[in-house]
Amino acid sequence: MEILGIGPLELFFILLIALIVLGPGDMVKAGRTLGRFLRKIITSPEWRTVQKASRELRYLPNRLMREANLEDISKELSDINKIGGQINSDVKKMEIDLASWTTPPALADDKVHQSDTVESPPSTQNLADNPAKPDDHI
């Protein structure tokens, strides 16, 4: 926990130096004087004014939004963003559904189609090896 940017170890060193410089007797007097001074500050009307101004500044943006009815607009914008997200998810689902129609067939389908092709006619070399019978010419 830091108080005015001073950590617990730093505060310990400050108190130690004050004890060495002031001594034990004057340290008690200085503590009482400091306590009275802080109580006067906190109970003063000026401190209350500072606290009130601090609270007003902290909640100023919310108050201005309420006065300008921007809360309703911000809610409407968040609703529109939600609808836009739903539309995007619906479009992605449709793209997935249409992917089977729009993508080319797979390589496995190509191999099946190639085996179904018509065989080429026998070559002339095969005919020369097997002479035709005289009955075949009629």
109 against 70, higher pLDDT = 70
88 against 134, higher pLDDT = 88
Three-state DSSP state, 121: coil
Q: Are 14 and 6 in contact (CB under 8 A)?
A: yes
pLDDT value for 36? 94
Q: For the whole prediction, is pTM greater than 0.75?
A: no
What's the pLDDT tens digit per position in 48-77? 999 999 999 998 888 887 777 766 777 787
Q: Are 27 and 19 in contact (CB under 8 A)?
A: yes
Longest dimension (CA), the chain: 144
Mean pLDDT over each residue of the chain, to the nearest integer:
76
Considering only CA atoms, give the Rg of the chain: 46
| HSE (side-chain half, CA atoms, 13 Å) at 123 | 3
Name the amino acid, one letter, at 91. V
pLDDT value for 133? 55
